[in-house]
Structure formats: C-alpha cells, structure tokens
Structure 1
Amino acid sequence: MASPKLRRTSSILSVVKSVLASFLGVQSQKKYEEDFAEPSPLPFIITGVVLVLLFVLSLILLVNLLN
C-alpha cells in the first residue's frame, strides 16, 4: 500500500499533468471528466496560475537574453 505522502505527490503530479495537457489542448474527455469530479478546483487553479507565471517569466528572460 502506498504511503499518504506518496499518494499526495502523485496527486500533485496528476494535477500538473492535467493542467499542462489543458494548456496544450490535448486533454482527453475522460481525463477532463475525472478532473471535474474532484471536490475542489483549488489545486487546478493554483497550479494553473503558477505555470502561467513560470511561462511568462521564462518568456521575459528569453527576450532579455536575446537583446
């Protein structure tokens, strides 16, 4: 049986993978339905905001390096 910490890590990994798939528009309908079956959207919202910030910061860094 997996420890609670291991299940939480895989859960976080699952949320990150789901948000990345949504960003790219390649998420399956089955996974989409599983995500909306979750009791709270908060992990998806937080992950989405963090990933958007990382994306924007990486674009800013890239532009500054090329100038």
Structure 2
Amino acid sequence: MWSIIQSVLAALIGVQKDRKRQQDFASEKPLGFIVAAILVTLIFVLILILVANIAAG
C-alpha cells in the first residue's frame, strides 16, 4: 500500500523514476492506484481550500 501512495504522490508532483513507473504500469491491479489517486487528490483540494479560507480571514 505504501508503494502505491508513493507512486501517486510522485505522479502528483510529476517526478518519478522510469523504473518505478514501468513497475506501476505492469501491475495487474489498477484499482489500488485509482482509489489512492482519488483520495490523495481530494485531500490536496481540501488542504488548498483550508489554506485559502485561512488566508481570506
């Protein structure tokens, strides 16, 4: 599970080693990547909203 989260976070910022990317695409179970990507994206958006609300006062 930690490997999937690392891959999703690396993809989010656009930095990932080619070897790791090839491993990810060779995986026969993409559901874990899809769920992790959705969760990480939601958390990222919620953090941005929180920071914007704090900055707006």
| Fold shared, TM-score > 0.5 on shorter chain | yes
- Give 1:40 deviation, angstroms: 1.2
For the aligned residue pairs, the C-alpha RMSD in angstroms reads 0.7
- Residue 26 of structure 1 deviates from its aligned partner by 1.0
Give how far 1:55 is off: 0.5
- Structure 1 residue ranges (4+ consecutive) displaced by more than 2 angstroms after TM superposition: none
1:38 aligns with 2:23: no
Q: Which protein has greater RCO, CA pairs closer than 8 Å, 6+ apart?
A: 2
| Rg comparison, structure with higher value | 1
Alignment length (residue pairs):
56
Q: Show structure 1 runs of 5+ residues with no match.
A: 1-11
> 1:26, 1:61 → 2: CA distance?
25
Q: Offset of 1:25 from its aligned partner? A: 1.1
* Structure 2 partner of 1:47: 36
**Shift, 1:21, TM fit:** 0.7
Offset at 1:63? Answer: 0.8
3-state secondary structure, aligned to 2:16? coil
